[in-house]
Chains A and B, each alone.
Chain A
Amino acid sequence: MSAGVPWDAARAQEIISAHLGLEGPALPILHAVKKEFGYVPEAAVPLIADALNVSRAEMHGVVTFYHEFNREPHGRHVLKICRAEACQSLGAEKLARDFLAQLKIEWGQTTPDGALTVEPIYCLGLCAHSPSALYDDEPMGWVDAERLNEIAAEAQNK
């Protein structure tokens, strides 16, 4: 499950404070914020910037640089389909395109019922089992259309 708890500034402050002993704590803080809330809310940025004594603009720059830090909540489940070369060598590109068309969404979007977000990923290191994907925390190799349909159905029901 990727959905987090609702935004809570005091909780965010706690998370930030817990990491201030680290050298260069920005990424660990952002990961922890994402883990708690399911995304990096806009409201977290000034809090982190203050704690690290950098400008908001600078912190905004950090958050937006990295693919991992989504700034809007995901659906209840996230499916990341690999688009890298090894997976392409066994038809991943068409597989993903067909699946997205069937769900009537684009890369990075969530189905209207909020069940499933589909994102591209560039390599899961499962290149001997192409095409591969990551469904929430579960890796999957030799994925085909049937397996993707099962996931779409499962996401809807949970």
Chain B
Amino acid sequence: MTKVYVPLDFAAQAMGAERVVAAIEKEAALRGVNVQIVRNGSRGLLWLEPLVEVETTEGRVGYGNVKPSDVPALFDAGFLFGGAHSSSIGKVEEHPYWKRQKRITFKRCGVIDALSLDEYIAHGGFRGLARAFAIGPEKTIEEIATSGLRGRGGAGFPVGIKWKTVHDCKADRKYVVVNADEGDSGTFADRMIMEGDPFSLIEGMIICGHAIGADKGYVYLRVEYPQTAKVLGKAVELARAAGWLGPKVNGSNDFAFDVEVRIAAGAYVCGEETSLLESLEGKRGIVRAKPPFPAFEGLFGKPTVVNNVLSIATAPMILEDGGAAYASYGMDRSRGTIPLQIAGNVKFGGLFEAPFGLKLSEIVNDIGGGTLSGRPVKAVQVGGPLGAYVPVSLFDTPFDYEAYTKVDSLIGHGGLVVFDDTVDMSWMARFGMEFCAVESCGKCTPCRIGSTRGVETIDKIRAGENVASNIDLLKDLCNTMKFGSLCALGGFAPYPVESALRHFPEDFQKPALEAAAE
């Protein structure tokens, strides 16, 4: 029976994947052909979704942007044998966008049936866990430390150190908490891995739990991802039924571990680890002052590892191949690979996993194919709503935590939002402040009041009111927020604003320019 792959990924669904599945089933029944539809994750060639793949003797052949109305023609063209059709992209794994990547975290994503434990295991699943059980907690943590893996949520804190800290704490309970509150615009890597390879996250959580001495893990998942909740929830059930979760995890002596998926409720600030913990406890998502750090006093006051989805989902590969193998990729203190998310006004938007060190010029122009609108690129916002707008003049900065810090930017979660030359940067700066005002938890004054004052001040500048002195005031305000806020929301909200001011000053002088032109 021919296998036809149609991604269950949310982005593929947004482009009509479910209707394509129905159309293929209907057409196959009509023609009396046996096809087995497999629901894989997305390979990340997102501009081609829904990307339908057919398994042939030559390998998997892809058909991009398939619409339900294309399906009869695809059957006519013999797509079940890889036949030629205008939507054909040839062998998917020969596609340059796929071939150029170094897939470690995402090696199975899009390749396997997302919810098949058999396929997961056939593609190396649970080997990392087996090794973790064999070498024990201390050596497991050493491997993670050797890998150089840093928190992929954006803060970039060494994962090994965090795990060791919690491991060394004495407590009656400890927790693993996965931060799946991926709220940054331009990011979707967490969503993709949870939908396309959910068992890798579960395996990573078991490895972490075993290493630190926790028997319970929570995934705090944003409510904006209904499909992720379905897929991950199902994966947890399957893993439990097969004995990978529960009172005695497969392959362990007597290690008990379970996972619960908790749905968030639409507050961006809950992506900050301490407000996430408050929210998990059932309270308002108000940021806690640090110290104490969650590693010492986290969920319900117990020592807790809070890690991003990608950090945890990478742990199995690190255990399987050894920390040194992972560390052999990357540059300087940014080791391994980073799943880049190329988004916004870009031709070939998608997920591109590569070792650290790529330059924006390669990522945006070469890999991303430039803007979708065909106009010149003006700026790329790197690292979400709290990230800086990077101008073309800085496109040669290598993608690396420290290199970005040096140019007053941050790589965050690896999300890149491309803007063409029609964007008004003073408007985007205003939006950055407005977003912070909407999402501020309200605990500290710089963030709560500063963001509202920021919106007002930018409005004055945009109206041409005392522009020079208001720009000074805005810079001063940004400084106060940066150094006076309790957490990264207020502390980083100035990044987009300051970068817009620094690199695109002309966008803040519009009324004056317009007046001069008249």
CB distance from A58 to the nearest CB of B (A): 8
Contact assessment for A125 and B13 in the assembled complex, using a CB-CB cutoff below 8 Å: no
Best-buried of B14, B381, B418, B419 by chain A (most CB within 10 Å): B14
| Surface stretch bound by A, among B26-34, B279-287, B320-328 | B279-287
Contacts from B to A (Cβ < 8 Å): 10-11, 13-15, 46-47, 49, 182-188, 190-191, 223-227, 260, 262-268, 279-286, 300, 341-346, 349-350, 372-373, 381, 385, 415, 417-420, 423, 428, 431, 435, 439, 441
- For A134, the chain B residues whose CB sits under 8 A away are 224
- For B428, the chain A residues whose CB sits under 8 A away are 85, 88
CB distance from B377 to the nearest CB of A (A): 11
Contact assessment for B345 and A125 in the assembled complex, using a CB-CB cutoff below 8 Å: no
Chain A residue total in the interface (Cβ 8 A): 42
Other-chain residue from A69, A125, A138 in contact with B182 (beta carbon distance below 8 A): A125
CB-defined interface of A45-70 with B at 8 Å, one 1/0 digit per residue?
Answer: 00000001000000001100111110
A132 and B14 in contact, given A65-B267, A125-B187 (Cβ under 8 angstroms):
yes
Q: A24 in the interface, Cβ–Cβ < 8 Å? A: yes
Contacts from A to B (Cβ < 8 Å): 22-28, 30-31, 52, 61-62, 65-69, 84-90, 121-130, 132, 134, 137-142
- For B286, the chain A residues whose CB sits under 8 A away are 65
The 4 closest A-B pairs by CB, nearest first: A128-B349, A26-B282, A84-B185, A127-B343
| Chain A: CB-nearest residue to B280 | A24
Other-chain residue from A84, A89, A128, A137 in contact with B46 (beta carbon distance below 8 A): A128
Other-chain residue from B188, B279, B280 in contact with A126 (beta carbon distance below 8 A): B188
Contact assessment for A121 and B224 in the assembled complex, using a CB-CB cutoff below 8 Å: yes
A127 and B349 in contact, given A27-B262, A66-B267, A86-B186 (Cβ under 8 angstroms):
yes
CB distance from A94 to the nearest CB of B (A): 11
- For A87, the chain B residues whose CB sits under 8 A away are 185
Other-chain residue from B10, B280, B282 in contact with A139 (beta carbon distance below 8 A): B10
CB distance from B65 to the nearest CB of A (A): 10
A125 and B265 in contact, given A68-B223, A86-B343, A86-B417 (Cβ under 8 angstroms):
no
Contact assessment for A28 and B15 in the assembled complex, using a CB-CB cutoff below 8 Å: no
- For A28, the chain B residues whose CB sits under 8 A away are 262-263
Other-chain residue from A66, A125, A140, A141 in contact with B225 (beta carbon distance below 8 A): A125
Besides A90-B372, A127-B415, 18 more A-B contacts (Cβ < 8 Å) are: A27-B262, A52-B282, A86-B417, A89-B345, A89-B417, A89-B418, A89-B419, A122-B268, A125-B191, A126-B10, A127-B186, A128-B188, A128-B342, A129-B349, A130-B343, A138-B13, A139-B11, A139-B13
Other-chain residue from B184, B225, B350, B435 in contact with A128 (beta carbon distance below 8 A): B350
Q: Once the chains are docked, how many angstroms separate the CA of A126 from the CA of B373?
A: 18
Other-chain residue from A52, A68, A130, A139 in contact with B344 (beta carbon distance below 8 A): A130
Q: Once the chains are docked, how many angstroms separate the CA of A68 from the CA of B264?
A: 9
Contact assessment for A66 and B265 in the assembled complex, using a CB-CB cutoff below 8 Å: yes
Q: Once the chains are docked, how many angstroms separate the CA of A138 from the CA of B13?
A: 8
- For B415, the chain A residues whose CB sits under 8 A away are 127
- For A65, the chain B residues whose CB sits under 8 A away are 267, 284-286, 441
Other-chain residue from B182, B265, B417 in contact with A85 (beta carbon distance below 8 A): B417
- For B191, the chain A residues whose CB sits under 8 A away are 125
Contact assessment for A85 and B185 in the assembled complex, using a CB-CB cutoff below 8 Å: yes
6 A–B contacts from the bound complex (CB under 8 Å): A66-B265, A85-B185, A90-B344, A127-B186, A127-B343, A130-B345
- For A69, the chain B residues whose CB sits under 8 A away are 265
Q: Once the chains are docked, how many angstroms separate the CA of A127 from the CA of B286?
A: 28
Contact assessment for A123 and B224 in the assembled complex, using a CB-CB cutoff below 8 Å: yes
| Chain A: CB-nearest residue to B441 | A65
CB distance from B129 to the nearest CB of A (A): 25
A84 and B300 in contact, given A89-B418, A122-B435 (Cβ under 8 angstroms):
no
- For B46, the chain A residues whose CB sits under 8 A away are 128-129
Contact assessment for A67 and B267 in the assembled complex, using a CB-CB cutoff below 8 Å: yes
Contact assessment for B284 and A127 in the assembled complex, using a CB-CB cutoff below 8 Å: no
Q: Once the chains are docked, how many angstroms separate the CA of A130 from the CA of B47?
A: 11
- For A66, the chain B residues whose CB sits under 8 A away are 265-267, 285
Q: Once the chains are docked, how many angstroms separate the CA of A126 from the CA of B265?
A: 19
Contact assessment for A24 and B344 in the assembled complex, using a CB-CB cutoff below 8 Å: no
Contact assessment for A24 and B282 in the assembled complex, using a CB-CB cutoff below 8 Å: yes
- For B435, the chain A residues whose CB sits under 8 A away are 122
Q: Once the chains are docked, how many angstroms separate the CA of A138 from the CA of B12?
A: 11
Best-buried of A85, A132, A138 by chain B (most CB within 10 Å): A85
